[in-house]
């Protein structure tokens, strides 16, 4: 969609000035996103416009309430530290009628954020930047440690409920809607053979051995904006899945994405492994920020989070492949299968690294 097609939607929001350019940003797998440039009294200002995927987020209004509550809390916490929240907390632009969402005549839900200037985010991250990303997500946890997690609405119920994700895969195999199951026996067998470990985090939560906190639940490195001038983490974005969860989810998902030597959908699995230098860097930053309040139980189990989040996403990609690619955006027919295989390759390497990861955590806790 170009600026002309978007203009009736843009007009629904209280951004000042005239929209002059729009560019689609293709990195997300769920929502559709544009960066929109406005001109106002000779100056340029930028915004993010998003069409929320309501197949994935069934009640976008309630999701936006979560985001409002969390960002208000973050603003207060940042101010209490004597810092300016302007570039450190995600900021929404309300609609002309003061709502957080605009629903167009087709029923699509739209929202607008302030674009953070002079900042950038990485898809592929080096160790130095990944340290900053670790600090960013660690700080996010810390600033929300006193937020009442039970007040949050589950924008995607059972999002990281891995036993349920396994059940969804099993249902997809049984239904075999697009006749793909016979071609992926090996992938199915591999993932189901990891059932026990993949269900261990929910088991520990149910047993009371891991607490529920406010977690981000989608901690890809490109969800932390870094300051272009200093390289430091400024702001955590994409708050759609902020929900109660375990810190193992946030840590594990971050390493799963940013600690991979290749892209999440790399077709050549020989290129995929866990980069220990990057993993150490992220972990150092994350622990620096969270060491004071995370429990021993959580800190020592962080590596388990990598296995569970990597395996869980493999389950989700494979399930979507079997269901005919209805959830994740795909760029080609086998995309979800390629993604599944890439996550499986990473999981195998994470398994091989188990004792190295445990030693790394011990060393960081002692330092
Ligand atoms: C989706 O669209 P994006 O990049 O924010 C997905 C995550 C996956 C990720 C894999 C709501 O996130 O859970 O880990 O793709 N988000 C949702 O790239 O399902
Ligand atoms: Mg996301």
Q: What CATH code is carried by the domain that includes residue 190?
A: 3.90.1200.10
pTM across the whole model: 0.96
User: Do residues 112 and 199 share a domain?
Assistant: no
Examine residue 76 and state whether it is found in any structural domain, yes or no: no
User: Do residues 135 and 280 share a domain?
Assistant: yes
Examine residue 70 and state whether it is found in any structural domain, yes or no: no
Examine residue 73 and state whether it is found in any structural domain, yes or no: no
Examine residue 72 and state whether it is found in any structural domain, yes or no: no
C-alpha to C-alpha distances, 174 to 24, 209, 314, 317, 339, nearest whole angstrom: 38, 34, 18, 16, 21
Residue 297's pLDDT band, with cuts at 50, 70 and 90, is very high
Examine residue 313 and state whether it is found in any structural domain, yes or no: yes
- Nearest atom within ligand 1 for CA of residue 223: 5
Distance 235 CA to ligand 1 centre (A): 18
Distance 113 CA to ligand 2 centre (A): 15
Distance 213 CA to ligand 2 centre (A): 18
Examine residue 167 and state whether it is found in any structural domain, yes or no: yes
Q: Any idea what the CATH number is for the domain that residue 52 is in? A: 3.30.200.20
Residues 6+ apart with CB under 8 A from 259: 130, 274, 275, 278, 279, 282, 306
**How do residues 232-260 score in pLDDT, each as one tens digit?**
999 999 999 999 999 999 999 999 999 99
Q: Taking the chain, what is the end-to-end CA distance rounded to the nearest angstrom?
A: 51
Question: Which residues span the domain enclosing 175?
Answer: 127-366
**Is the beta carbon of 17 within 6 A of some atom in ligand 1?**
no
User: Do residues 179 and 100 share a domain?
Assistant: no
User: Do residues 30 and 135 share a domain?
Assistant: no
Distance 316 CA to ligand 1 centre (A): 10
**How do residues 20-73 score in pLDDT, each as one tens digit?**
999 999 889 999 999 999 999 999 999 999 999 999 999 999 999 999 999 999
Considering the chain, what is the average pLDDT of its residues? 97
User: Do residues 173 and 309 share a domain?
Assistant: yes
Mutate to test the pocket of ligand 1, among 216, 220, 222 (most ligand atoms within 8 A of CB): 220
CA dist 286 and 299 (Å) reads 10
User: Do residues 275 and 322 share a domain?
Assistant: yes
**How do residues 299-319 score in pLDDT, each as one tens digit?**
999 999 999 999 999 999 999
**How do residues 189-217 score in pLDDT, each as one tens digit?**
999 999 999 999 999 999 999 999 999 99
User: Do residues 134 and 53 share a domain?
Assistant: no
**Is the beta carbon of 215 within 6 A of some atom in ligand 1?**
no
Total domains in the chain come to 2
């Amino acid at each position: 969609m170009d600026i002309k097609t978007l203009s009736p939607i843009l007009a629904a929001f209280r951004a000042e000035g005239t929209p002059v350019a729009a560019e689609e940003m293709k990195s997300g797998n769920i929502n559709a996103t544009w960066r929109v440039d406005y001109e106002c009294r000779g100056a340029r200002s930028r915004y993010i416009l998003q069409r929320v995927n309501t197949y994935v987020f069934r009640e976008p209004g309630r999701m936006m309430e979560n985001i409002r509550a969390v960002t208000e809390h973050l603003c207060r916490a940042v101010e209490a530290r004597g810092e300016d929240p302007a570039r450190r907390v995600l900021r929404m632009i309300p609609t002309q009628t003061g709502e957080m969402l605009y629903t167009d005549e087709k029923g699509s839900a739209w929202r607008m954020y302030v674009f953070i200037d002079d900042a950038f985010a990485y898809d592929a991250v080096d160790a130095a930047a990944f340290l900053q990303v670790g600090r960013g997500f660690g700080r996010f946890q810390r600033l929300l440690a006193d937020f009442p997690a039970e007040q949050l609405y589950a924008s995607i119920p059972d999002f990281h409920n891995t036993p349920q994700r396994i059940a969804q895969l099993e249902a997809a195999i049984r239904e075999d809607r697009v006749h793909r199951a016979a071609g992926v026996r090996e992938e199915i067998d591999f993932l189901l053979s990891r059932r026990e470990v993949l269900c261990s985090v929910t088991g520990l939560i149910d047993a009371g051995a891991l607490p529920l906190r406010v977690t981000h639940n989608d901690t890809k490195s490109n969800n932390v904006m870094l300051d272009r001038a200093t390289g430091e983490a400024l702001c955590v974005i994409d708050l759609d899945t902020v929900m109660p969860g375990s810190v193992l989810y946030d840590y594990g998902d971050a390493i799963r994405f940013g600690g991979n030597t290749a892209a999440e959908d790399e077709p050549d699995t020989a290129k995929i492994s866990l980069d220990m230098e990057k993993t150490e860097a992220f972990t150092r930053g994350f622990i620096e920020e969270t060491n004071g309040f995370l429990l021993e139980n959580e800190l020592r189990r962080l590596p388990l989070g990598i296995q569970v989040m990597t395996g869980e996403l493999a389950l989700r990609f494979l399930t979507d492949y079997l269901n005919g690619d209805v959830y994740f955006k795909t760029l080609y027919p086998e995309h979800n299968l390629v993604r599944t295989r890439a996550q499986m390759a990473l999981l195998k390497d994470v398994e091989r690294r188990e004792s190295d990861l445990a030693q790394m955590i011990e060393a960081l806790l002692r330092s």
